[in-house]
Structure 1
């Protein structure tokens, strides 16, 4: 099974997406749903996808589970739930029992938008993570270099949990990279319970001046750190459309992974996502 480990649906006419208000994001400020993605998956040989949260709203998670229930290609949902909510355990139980609840595979929060770089280490957040793992769910880290020390400490605090790092922690590709990102990624990878999504890289580069060769050093570094069993391909569609088409993004990442070996590419396009999210 070929899996896109990271994609989104949204409709700005029906909900607010504060991160989407920037003028440069106008090209993606419209509705994207299953009917838009289906032909792209077929054209690019993708069998299934993981649908990932876009806003901090439980209503979105509930909607995504309903979509997953009605969309066979969506084999997993990484939703949002309030980690600071003392009733999180009950909320997760209700989500798992709802329509499509069997496809809830993880929880995510936009940690890099929090003012506190140590937000993940707050006592109420750590208590929430305990509830997430009690329900056998993974937790997706949406962080940049600034939050990586707290991310590392969190992964160390829950050695039996499953974590997934989104977008390789958004390396500053447009600025030529940084040793801070490289060193902190390596330290996080030393935690054997963290997988890394090779996703969202083109949109961290200059949108009109990138190619597979520009992305390759970052993919190679992630591969050197996490190894062939903990890399996951993700399109980050439709955010990726800011930099290129679905096919261009998939082709560039496939070329990067293929340089590292056919076995690396094959695992990143399927088996590793299955392991990280414990997909059937």
Structure 2
């Protein structure tokens, strides 16, 4: 039976790296180190057998650090790391990491860039062309205001697998679809664009959200992308701001109850395995 895969989780170690963003007052509950030993029991309790680490630092040293964690923690099925897309040395950076069988993708924290058009700058597009050349998947960490760029990227790089993290962070707390749904559906028209059903509870009301609050967004994602291009992600430990790991899993399961067993398996396992080309 295929294992369940969490396609989106993080580790950080305050003794190894500096994380200035973690010191914001609202993030105090997660302003501590989170390592594989913290995640493993929660995966087991929720029936998740493997996970994929996703970068949180714009540094090559984080890639090297996590790849060492992988050696001691076989449940980590893949690492989505970082390279400097704007650098003329991007191909050399890729050459260091892509030979590792568990280095499966690249992400840049586009949402934090001061320039809303960062991802379509010529120098960044040259970096994305290098990813396409070497068949390295790319995670799109967008706010709603960036989602419009997905069509341009998917058109220019039709052979670059891309996945929208956290549905591009719609304003679930306000139950708003404005400025999100049309661009989200437009992105879904491109077969190389996928989406993670992740990061939703922290876009809802942290104190009072319920699974039904996520349903309008999940239903649109199911219609636009179908289960074949959707994958489960917890966004742990960020999700702990709004709920326990098991609550994230349970909320998605509740909203997928109308799907067939095969469709649920696709979302909880096969899409991530196929997108990131994980070994069986």
TM-score, structure 1 normalization = 0.96
Q: Is the 1:8–1:51 Cα contact (8 Å) retained in structure 2?
A: yes
Secondary structure of the corresponding residue to residue 180 of structure 2 = helix
Within 5 Å, which residues of 2 pair with 1:212-227?
212-227=211-226
| Alignment partner, residue 242 of structure 1 | 241
Secondary structure of the corresponding residue to residue 93 of structure 2 = helix
Q: Confirm whether residue 46 of structure 1 aligns to residue 45 of structure 2.
A: no
Q: Is the 2:10–2:54 Cα contact (8 Å) retained in structure 1?
A: yes
State the number of aligned residues: 277
Q: Is the 1:117–1:150 Cα contact (8 Å) retained in structure 2?
A: no
| Alignment partner, residue 28 of structure 1 | 30
d(CA) in 2 for partners of 1:123 and 1:242? Answer: 37
How much has 1:112 moved relative to structure 2? 1.1
How much has 1:214 moved relative to structure 2? 0.9
The superposition leaves residues 3-61 of structure 1 with CA deviations (integer Å, 9 ceiling, x where unpaired) of 00100000223312233221010000001101111111111111100000011111111
d(CA) in 1 for partners of 2:200 and 2:248? Answer: 9
Q: Is the 2:144–2:179 Cα contact (8 Å) retained in structure 1?
A: yes
| Alignment partner, residue 179 of structure 2 | 180
Secondary structure of the corresponding residue to residue 204 of structure 1 = coil
d(CA) in 2 for partners of 1:157 and 1:266? Answer: 31
d(CA) in 2 for partners of 1:189 and 1:18? Answer: 34
Q: Confirm whether residue 131 of structure 1 aligns to residue 130 of structure 2.
A: yes
Secondary structure of the corresponding residue to residue 259 of structure 1 = coil
| Alignment partner, residue 207 of structure 2 | 208
Q: Is the 1:196–1:226 Cα contact (8 Å) retained in structure 2?
A: yes
Runs of at least 5 residues in structure 1 that lack an aligned partner in the other structure: none
Higher helix share: 1
d(CA) in 2 for partners of 1:83 and 1:103? Answer: 20
d(CA) in 2 for partners of 1:13 and 1:68? Answer: 19
| Alignment partner, residue 78 of structure 1 | 80
d(CA) in 1 for partners of 2:171 and 2:259? Answer: 22
Runs of at least 5 residues in structure 2 that lack an aligned partner in the other structure: none
Q: Confirm whether residue 122 of structure 1 aligns to residue 124 of structure 2.
A: no
TM-score, structure 2 normalization = 0.96
How much has 1:130 moved relative to structure 2? 1.3
Secondary structure of the corresponding residue to residue 208 of structure 1 = coil
Alignment counterpart, residue 71 of structure 2, candidates 62, 66, 69: 69
d(CA) in 1 for partners of 2:48 and 2:121? Answer: 39
